[in-house]
Chains A and B, each alone.
Chain A
Amino acid sequence: MAATPDTLRLESERDSAWLFVLPALILSASVVAFPVIATILLSLTDWNGLGTPRFVGLDNFRALFGEPRFWVAVSNNFIFTGLFVTLPMMVALIASAFLMIIKFGRTFFQVIFFLPVTIATIILAQVWRGMIYSPVTGAVGWLQGLGLAVSNPLADPSTSLYGVLLVDMWHWWGYLTVIYFAALRQVDVSLIEAAFMDGASYIATFRFILLPMIMPTILFMLLMTVIWSFRVFDWVFILTEGGPGFSSEVLGTLAYKTAFQQMAVGRASAYSLVMSILGLVAISIYLRVQYKSEKLS
């Protein structure tokens, strides 16, 4: 092709397109990509954050696989994600199904349900710790005053994880409700009306018409919830710091505390790496289940 001035100009414009994506790439690489590589390398070292990292091979991984605390954290992560993915989804589906049939107050309920998502986790966690769970200053104390056998779930090793989970689910289900409701409202109204004309109940209509129509949204949110809940940190760190003992420990808090409280950065990096890999495992479990259920139906 002859290089006319015009094609030359277009060529250079094509080259300059790179300049538009470069700032985003440089920013992301310097904050995420390079530090991720550094974390992988640090997981093979013994480092207190100050001196020179000492290469120790796979010692960190061998050490953590022998730790009871590590295995509790791993199983807590899976329990947490399993329940966090399912329970809020069910509540949100019921709530959004009800929102579909009411005449007044749709916006009002949506705003209320969504409210906790707009408030900082540190604030919600402290409110729950002091005003709900505390046997001295909270609703639990008030119920005890009435003679009910309730206690602070965060103080008991057998319930601490679930105490944390409840707060996180309380703050989260409204977000799902708003999203499901937005999806439900895009379903063609004539489909729903036709079902009612044929004498279908609302439950049947929801199950066989509305639910399949919003399935893509439900599945997408499930995937996002798996990703987000596997890295749970704030709620555990603020409510229990992983305690009592290490009963509510998760990999996110374990890695963080190991790095910044024990200054064992090499070992912390190993926890982070295991956490990321298990997070990917959780995602692939989810994708496999979804793939199988799609093949079935």
Chain B
Amino acid sequence: MNPYQDRSAQFFAYLFLCSAAFSVIFPLALMIINSLRTNFEILSSPLGFPDSPNFAVYKQVWIEARLGRAIMNSCMVAAGTVAIVCLVATPAAWVIARRRVPGWLAISLYFLATTTVPVQMFIFPLYFLFAKIGFINNHFALMFVYAAIYTPFSLFLLRTYIVSIPIELEEAARIDGASNFQIFARIIFPLTSPGLLTVALIVSLNTWNEFLISITFLQTDSAATATARFYQLSGRYGSQWPEMMATATLIAAPTIIFFVLLQRRFIDGISSGAVKN
């Protein structure tokens, strides 16, 4: 029977999907609602709406917790990481896609292998080395660590874009006397720009949300990115839940808004790798 016309199939589908959607939204709604209530209101009744929404808490945490600084730091680290990843992964993806060097297979296997390595397998020597040479709380050092971690994924994603560029374009340019660098800069880089955009989206999202590495390498208030700052604050605000939830909302808002606006591209980018392979 065609489920499109089957009333009961439609009913169960919507029932399941709506309850699933509710279970996802519920904790997030509590985050926003409880940011507008007072601690006393939350304690006396954990689930409930604010008597009079206290929007002032957002201004309060913004100043008190120096969130502006933390969000600026996050933006800087994300932008820097994206820039390094694009500059480093695109040429490598080209070489691997076109098998331009004899060791292309070994190189791809190496990058594939690095994606299975847990962070704890390389962060300890890195941390103590950085501590020795004064790279703790240094955003550039952090960008390089992130860039190295996100390069393999970006490389493989970009490879699929480069493979679909007709090789005749490159050959024609080569016959006209173009060098490797000119072919890369004038043909490959511009034609992979949709892929680069997807890489930029995913890498900046991951960088923004990353926890383990940021709390390890950024230890001062002024150096902390948004997530690291929130981790520092969860000690300080302790049981001041309205302040905590307001901070959480402010840090989550940029990624949520970004995602909702660009959801097609996000979803395509994230599912393309898994579906095509």
Q: Which residues of A contact B (CB under 8 A)?
A: 13-14, 16-21, 23-25, 27-28, 30-36, 38-39, 42, 49, 91, 94-95, 98-99, 101-103, 105, 107, 109-116, 118-124, 126-128, 130-132, 134, 136-139, 141-142, 145, 170, 174-175, 178-179, 182-183, 186, 196, 199, 201-202, 216-217, 220-221, 224, 227, 230-231, 233-234, 237-238, 251-252, 255-256, 259-260, 265, 268-269, 271-273, 275-276, 279-280, 283
Contact = CB atoms under 8 A, between A and B. Distances in A.
Contacts of B118: 230-231, 252, 272, 275-276, 279
B266 to A, nearest CB: 8
Contacts, number: 298
Contacts of B16: 94-95, 98
Contacts of A21: 91-92, 95-96, 101, 107
B220 interface: no
Contacts of B140: none
A131 B31 contact: yes
Contact of A126 (B131, B230, B274): B230
16 contacts: A18-B95, A24-B89, A33-B114, A95-B16, A103-B4, A105-B17, A113-B20, A120-B252, A122-B231, A123-B252, A170-B24, A178-B271, A179-B271, A202-B9, A227-B115, A276-B117
Contacts of B31: 123, 127, 131
Given A115-B259, A202-B9, A35 B126 contact: yes
Interface stretch (B41-49, B55-63, B191-199): B41-49
Contacts of A252: 118, 120
Chain B binding surface, main DSSP class: helix
Interface of B: 1-4, 6, 9-10, 12-14, 16-17, 20-21, 23-25, 27-28, 30-31, 34, 42-43, 45-47, 84, 87-89, 91-92, 94-96, 100-101, 107, 110-111, 114-129, 131, 144-145, 147-149, 151-152, 155, 174, 179-181, 184, 205, 208-209, 211-212, 216, 226-227, 230-231, 234, 239, 241, 244-245, 248, 251-252, 255-256, 258-260, 263, 266-268, 270-271, 274-275, 277
Given A113-B24, A120-B209, A256-B120, A216 B46 contact: no
A28 B266 CA distance: 26
A107 B248 contact: no
Contacts of A131: 27, 30-31, 34, 46, 241, 245
Given A35-B122, A95-B20, 10 more contacts: A18-B95, A23-B91, A35-B123, A35-B124, A118-B255, A131-B31, A238-B211, A272-B124, A275-B121, A280-B116
Contacts of B274: 179, 182-183, 217, 220-221, 224
Nearest to A103: B4
B24 A115 contact: yes
